[in-house]
């Protein structure tokens, strides 16, 4: 038997009790078809009058195990090629997740269709419902500040989240069973499973990402929950922001990388010369390092912030600019 089949068998034998009221196995799920598992399987088959030996797909042993599962353990499944045991969600939950996305008006339409199809396929293939996280919809420029440098490299105006082309799609409310038979309900980022299983929990993210990639969606290396319509390597978020700023405002703009961060230059509405004005975060928060001798610093900072606000108000005019 394959490791995933053995893990599911062990999980069921751990949940189902013998006529004596004890689980058929009393050791941790390990995916190994060893003597203890073989003895537990034989005992279950003997108690149920099943003469089958190794359980066959949809055979009497599997049918009897599923029928004997306590209510809390109904719908127990295993992620293929893993030892991850989880419980199938309901079709109603899948429909509610899709409905939330369908009525949302701030995703770019083709991206919206991709995300809906992503949720549908994940449920069809694995019985798992994906949900947009509470902060994973379109974000305003200022919302970006709440994530900190540890969680995102993008400042205000520099994320595809601002333009309806990205979302955070996680595993909220996934119920799963640990190696001892305990049932857990997890969050969007699979926080409990990650702590319990370590790197093995990433198999669920890989299952999600395989479907995402087949639909033409992309992820970013440091944030598992994030999906977007565009490939980071092919666009410059900073250059794209500059184009939007010049479409919607009155100043001229440039951007240059400094120590792997985007820094901005502006003509400050003077029509000549370009002056360093800092990062997107500094501009948005009114801390732009405007040069001396070109006017009232506080007024210039307000004007720079106003340019960003006009860009935010007209976010649908954003277009990707190549990073090459």
pLDDT in tens, 300-313: 999 999 999 999 99
Let me know whether 174 and 42 are in one domain: no
Let me know whether 206 and 240 are in one domain: no
Q: Is residue 210 part of a domain?
A: yes
Domain of 201, CATH number, reads 3.30.1380.10
Domain boundary among 195, 218, 233: 233
Predicted confidence band of residue 222 (pLDDT cuts 50, 70, 90): low
Report the pLDDT value the prediction gives residue 278, as an integer from 0 to 100.
95
With 80 as the cut, is the pLDDT of residue 165 above it? yes
DSSP summary character for residue 49: T
Q: Is residue 105 part of a domain?
A: yes
With 60 as the cut, is the pLDDT of residue 107 above it? yes
Is the pLDDT higher at 179 or at 152?
A: 179
Let me know whether 14 and 29 are in one domain: yes
Let me know whether 95 and 179 are in one domain: yes
Let me know whether 191 and 293 are in one domain: no
Q: Is residue 79 part of a domain?
A: no
Let me know whether 123 and 207 are in one domain: yes
Q: Is residue 250 part of a domain?
A: yes
Domain housing 310: 235-317
Domain boundary among 207, 233, 259: 233
Q: Distance (Å, rounded) from C-alpha 90 to C-alpha 74?
A: 12
DSSP H or E segment with residue 85: strand 85-87
Count other C-beta atoms under 10 Å from residue 214's C-beta.
11
Domain boundary among 211, 233, 255: 233
Is the pLDDT higher at 315 or at 153?
A: 315
pLDDT digits (tens, 9 = 90+) for 234-290: 899 999 999 999 999 999 999 998 887 899 999 999 998 999 999 999 999 999 998
Give how far Cα 228 sits from Cα of 156, 163, 264, Å: 17, 11, 25
pLDDT digits (tens, 9 = 90+) for 59-104: 999 999 999 999 999 999 999 999 999 999 999 999 999 999 999 9
Report the pLDDT value the prediction gives residue 152, as an integer from 0 to 100.
64
Q: Is residue 322 part of a domain?
A: no
Q: Tokens 């610093």 correspond to what residue?
A: 297
> What 3-state class would DSSP assign to 145?
helix
pLDDT digits (tens, 9 = 90+) for 110-151: 999 999 999 999 999 999 999 999 999 999 999 988 775 545
Phi, psi dihedral angles at 256 (to 5 degrees): -140, 145
Let me know whether 64 and 183 are in one domain: no
Quote the number of domains for the chain.
Answer: 3
Report the pLDDT value the prediction gives residue 324, as an integer from 0 to 100.
56
With 80 as the cut, is the pLDDT of residue 164 above it? yes
Q: Is residue 261 part of a domain?
A: yes
Residues paired with 275 in a beta bridge: 266
DSSP letters, 202-254, are HHHHHHHHHHHHHTT-EEETTEEEEEESS-GGGB-HHHHHHHHHHHHSSS-EE
Q: Is residue 52 part of a domain?
A: yes
Let me know whether 57 and 111 are in one domain: no
Let me know whether 258 and 229 are in one domain: no
Let me know whether 227 and 163 are in one domain: yes
Q: Is residue 80 part of a domain?
A: no
Let me know whether 182 and 306 are in one domain: no
pLDDT digits (tens, 9 = 90+) for 27-71: 999 999 999 999 999 999 999 999 999 999 999 999 999 999 999
With 70 as the cut, is the pLDDT of residue 299 above it? yes
Let me know whether 251 and 197 are in one domain: no
CA dihedral 291, 295, 299, 303 (to 10 degrees): -70
- When the pLDDT of each residue in the chain is averaged and rounded to a whole number, the result is 94
């Amino acid at each position: 038997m394959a490791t995933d089949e053995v893990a599911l068998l062990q999980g069921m034998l751990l949940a189902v009790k013998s006529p004596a009221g004890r689980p058929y196995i009393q050791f941790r799920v390990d995916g190994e078809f060893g003597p203890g598992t073989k003895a537990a399987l034989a005992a279950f088959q003997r108690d149920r009058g099943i003469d089958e030996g190794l359980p066959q797909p949809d055979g009497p042993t599997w049918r009897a195990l599923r029928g004997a599962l306590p209510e809390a353990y109904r719908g127990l499944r295993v992620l293929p090629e893993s030892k991850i045991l989880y419980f199938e969600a309901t079709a109603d939950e899948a429909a509610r997740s899709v409905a939330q996305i369908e009525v949302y008006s701030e995703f770019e339409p083709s991206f919206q269709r991709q995300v809906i199809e992503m949720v549908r396929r994940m449920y069809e293939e694995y019985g798992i419902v994906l949900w947009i996280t509470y902060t994973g919809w379109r974000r305003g420029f200022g919302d970006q500040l709440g994530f900190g440098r540890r969680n995102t490299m993008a400042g205000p105006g520099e994320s595809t989240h601002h333009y309806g082309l990205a979302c955070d799609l996680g595993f909220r409310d996934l119920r799963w069973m640990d190696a001892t038979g305990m049932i857990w309900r997890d969050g969007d980022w699979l926080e409990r499973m990650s702590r319990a299983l370590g790197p093995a929990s990433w198999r669920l993210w890989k299952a999600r990402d395989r479907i995402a990639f087949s639909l033409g969606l992309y992820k970013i290396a440091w944030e598992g929950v994030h999906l977007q319509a565009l490939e980071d390597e092919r666009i410059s978020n900073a250059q794209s922001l500059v184009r939007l700023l010049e479409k919607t405002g009155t100043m001229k703009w440039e951007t240059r990388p400094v120590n792997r961060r985007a820094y901005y230059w502006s003509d400050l509405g003077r029509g000549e010369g370009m002056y360093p004005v800092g990062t997107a975060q500094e501009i948005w928060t009114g801390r732009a390092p405007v040069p001396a001798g070109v006017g009232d610093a506080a007024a210039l900072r307000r004007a720079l912030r106003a340019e960003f606000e006009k860009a935010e108000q007209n976010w649908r005019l954003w277009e990707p600019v190549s990073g090459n």
